[in-house]
Amino acid sequence: MFDALMHAETLTRRQLETDLQHVIQQDQLRVYYQPIVSLTSYEILGFEAVVRWQHPRRGLLTPAEFLPVAEELGLNLPIERWVLRQACRQIARWQSRYSTGTHLLVSINLSAKHLAQPDMVDYLKTLLHETRISPANLMLEITEDVVIQHFETAIALLTRLRQLGVQIGLDDFGTGYSSLSYLHRFPVDMLKIDRSFMQMISRPSRNSPKNGQMVRSIALLAESLGIPTIAEGIETLDQLTQLRALHCSYGQGYFFAEPLNQFAVEDFLKCYNHEKLRLRS
């Protein structure tokens, strides 16, 4: 029984690897957008772009279901660049259709391998020129641990990227090195507080006050450095209320909206003013 299960898992894995080889050529990738919302005014700051795989047999797959395999196969770079290009094109479409489109930010996660590419800056410069979008509408996210592990190299590259006019976001902050002392050296425009903190502040325990204080410390330090914060994974009104009290600038999560396809985003942008009034009341 165990051997049969292992054999089935091996076959599934091999088929996934085979299917991944053609995922871009066969137009099976999709970009979804999760809103990022101000926790004071409830205005939309923008969206985080996340990739999904519309698998012909298994349906819509999340990044966790295929990106680790893609990375092992060396396919994460072309996938990330495809997402980056699609997101820039989407920004251009919003800017042509909506008066607020010129202010919408789109954030995209980049891996260490992507950042290590020698043509990264030139590639991005060409892409911005081709799509004719303002660099300020694009935010590139890199995780805290990647910055720490490749500190001097990462700092130099992020500085060059910022010189293009794009924004830099530090993702998953507080989960790895808790490097509050390093924050002033990071050339970043936004700091993203990991979703694990949302679970901690909403789950009653003896450590609840400490959990809230950790979030407050991160938010206040970032505020003192002029760096806005984005709290990830907001799912309840209670979490939203606590984050507002803890001085977090922005938030994203299922409380506001799940990641939306490009058509659902259009509806969201049209209908959000009504939702904003509900949140303010």
**Ordered domains of the chain (ranges, CATH):** 2-280 (3.20.20.450)
Rounded to two decimals, what is the model's pTM? 0.89
Note the pLDDT of residue 112.
85
Q: How many CA atoms lie within 13 A of 15 on its CB side?
A: 10
Is 34 in contact with 259 (CB distance < 8 Å)? yes
Each residue's pLDDT tens digit, 2-24? 565 665 676 778 898 899 999 99
| Mean of per-residue pLDDT scores for the chain | 86
pLDDT top residue among 153 and 12: 153
DSSP the chain: -HHHHHHHHHHHHHHHHHHHTTTTTTT-EEEEEEEEEETTT--EEEEEEEEEEEETTTEEEPHHHHHHHHHHTT-HHHHHHHHHHHHHHHHHHHHHH-GGGGG-EEEEE--HHHHT-TTHHHHHHHHHHHHT--GGGEEEEEEHHHHHHTHHHHHHHHHHHHHTT-EEEEEEETSSS--GGGGGGS--SEEEEPTHHHHHHHS-STTHHHHHHHHHHHHHHHHHTT--EEE----SHHHHHHHHHTT--EE-STTT---B-HHHHHHHHHHHHHHHHHHH-
Whole-number Cα distances in Å, 259 to 8, 24, 234, 264: 31, 21, 13, 9
Note the pLDDT of residue 134.
93
Report the share of the chain in percent with pLDDT over 90.
56
Q: Is the pLDDT of residue 139 over 90?
A: yes
Report the share of the chain in percent with pLDDT over 70.
86
Angle (CA) 35 41 42, round 5°: 25
Each residue's pLDDT tens digit, 58-91? 999 999 999 999 999 999 999 999 999 999 999 9
CB proximity list for 48: less than 8 A, separation 6 or greater: 33, 34, 36, 106, 107, 108, 109, 141, 252, 259
